[in-house]
Structure 1
């Protein structure tokens, strides 16, 4: 039995990669299509640079936190899928996080030539950003990496917080530890 299947994870073979849409310290992100339904999703390949250290703690935190959150302004983690070991990946399997697909990130939109946000758009995005942050904080989660590339926007103007790799759970009893006094 494959590693992922014993925990209920499906194979990444259920998805067809369309194009790479991002890359960073975490790994690559692909726009993909689920073959059975035709649904467009984002596949985030978890980078496993040092296998001796095991599964990256940032990925574990991100999964744990995202599974606890359910809000219209927080990106939805749909499932976790795996790939089989293959020569192309040094005979190691890979793990992918499957997210709902969002069309843009705020930085990409703002960098477009001639792009100028109107005051109503700015207000709308700020309202959604603050609503998402308020939801996270109300659920004792600190995002800790708010930047344009982590604010995803769909073609309907819906903004969602993404990339919870640096996020941390927070409790009121820890409040004093966050100051320098």
Structure 2
């Protein structure tokens, strides 16, 4: 999979802060300088040097390009700069954990039902496309200002085990 190496593409974004950090890198809140659109940019550390990071990044990128659905965070673009890989996503203001911290008595039942329904739609879409997320937790459930739930962070996802996938796996395994 070819990712464009665009040296100055980050110049079109204003970095507003760090949203989160993980084992593979950092997520930045940015604003597009021309359109003023807010985005989240996932910057992978040691992308080119570390084979595991590179493989994880490329797998996530490939899957996200196929997973277009309202309840899955939208991948806008991907690029490489100075040996590091970047994924640009739609920006969603908060995650489920932050929302729950704001509501010490819990969310109203109607909202809970709505979030569960939206999560089920996202999971169903993933499974329909033979993808298992494998890391569903409050931090990976984004909640937009208009209460749209978005599943994010497909870094540890895997292909679902189907009879076709089993055949491919066994074929690869037996061939050495």
Q: TM-score, normalised by structure 1?
A: 0.82
Question: Are residue 133 (structure 1) and residue 123 (structure 2) matched?
Answer: yes
TM-score by length of 2: 0.84
Structure 1 CA distance, aligned partners of 2:79 and 2:68?
20
* SS across alignment from 2:145: coil
Deviations 1:113-142 (A, max 9, x none): 646201001000000000000011011111
Query: How far does the alpha carbon of each residue in 1:135-164 deviate from its partner, in whole angstroms, 9 at most, with x for none?
Result: 110111111111110111111000011000
Structure 1: 4+ residue segments shifted above 4 A: 174-177
Aligned length: 164
Q: Superposition RMSD on alpha carbons, in Å?
A: 2.4
* Deviation sequence 1:30-86 (CA, Å, 0-9, x none): 110011211100011012178153752111110010001100011111001343x4x
Q: Which residue of 1 aligns with 2:86?
A: 96
Separation (CA, whole Å) in 2 of partners of 1:145 and 1:161: 10
Secondary structure of 2:30's aligned partner: strand
Contact persistence 2:18–2:26 (CA under 8 A): yes
List gaps (5 residues or longer) in structure 2: 170-176
* Structure 1, unaligned runs of 5 or more: 86-92
